[in-house]
Amino acid sequence: MAKIKTVKACALCLQEKELCKSHILPEFVYKPLYEGGKFRMYSAKPSIKNRSEQKGLREYLLCEDCEQKISVWENYAKYVLEGGSKKVQLDADTSGNLVTVSGIDYKQFKLFQLSILWRASVSSQVFFSKVSLGKYEERLRTMLFNDDAGECREFGCIMFGLKEDKAVTDIIEQPFMKHIDNGITQRFIFSGFLWSFMVSEHLSKKYEIAFLQPSGKLTFLVRKLSEMKSMFQFAKELEKLGRLR
């Protein structure tokens, strides 16, 4: 039987093309979760059972050209999140729980950040259902399509490193919205970081120091995962349902 091709409008370029099964979060994010070729997804809702998956969450979303465009940013971000490499040389300065990394390619890493936020917003996956950008969704699509990383305060992302005894890289939390001051943040947890995207036209300038800077400098705080209320509450609900290993 011939394979049925999915031909629809690509979410990024808007052209009618054959679509790929695209990741919302890149596959390298899921790698620390795999056990025996699968990873486990936990639900605190009684109506939704825990389940195993063989690959990270995907859906027919992007054409091959747009998939390749985003994969370039993903590949770069992977090196950054792993602490650098021969290809991506970084410097880090640590003072207590404050870490400052320099040498980051602003455009590539910022476009990676923006692509995560945008893909989560346009996704039809239930896991990303709490991410909704409304009027900002089209602005982000245009920026990504045009390789425009924007100014540092546009959809600026505050990152927190997560640890217990060591860095915590094997947890992905369902993204959610949180109000802050007069704006909205969309929060993700993956790759050992909490990513807090500021989605507002009326941001206080006090947050800008924590965004990735055009100079390639990124400053973040390291926090204990056990101090995060959302993760603590999630664990309690799993325990009640007898789903916590």
Any residues with CB less than 8 A from the CB of 231 and at least 6 apart, and which? Answer: 171, 173, 189, 225
pLDDT at 229: 60
Asked if 81 and 104 touch (Cβ cutoff 8 Å), the reply is no
Residue 239 binned pLDDT confidence (cut-offs 50, 70, 90): low
Using the predicted structure, report yes or no on whether residue 202 has a pLDDT greater than 70. Answer: no
Residue 120, helix vs strand vs coil: helix
Judged by average pLDDT, the poorest of 21-30, 47-56, 180-189, 203-212 is: 47-56
pLDDT at 182: 72
**Dihedral (Cα; 64, 171, 189, 99), 10-degree rounding:** -110
Residue 111 binned pLDDT confidence (cut-offs 50, 70, 90): very high
Burial class (CB in 10 A: 0-12, 13-18, 19+), 190: buried
Distance between CA 59 and CA 23 in Å, rounded? 7
Token pair, residue 14, equals 């808007």
pLDDT digits (tens, 9 = 90+) for 38-96: 655 544 455 555 555 557 789 999 999 999 999 999 999 999 998 888 888 999 999 98
106-122 helix and 64-81 helix, angle to the nearest 10 degrees: 120
pLDDT at 84: 82
pLDDT digits (tens, 9 = 90+) for 20-34: 999 999 999 888 877
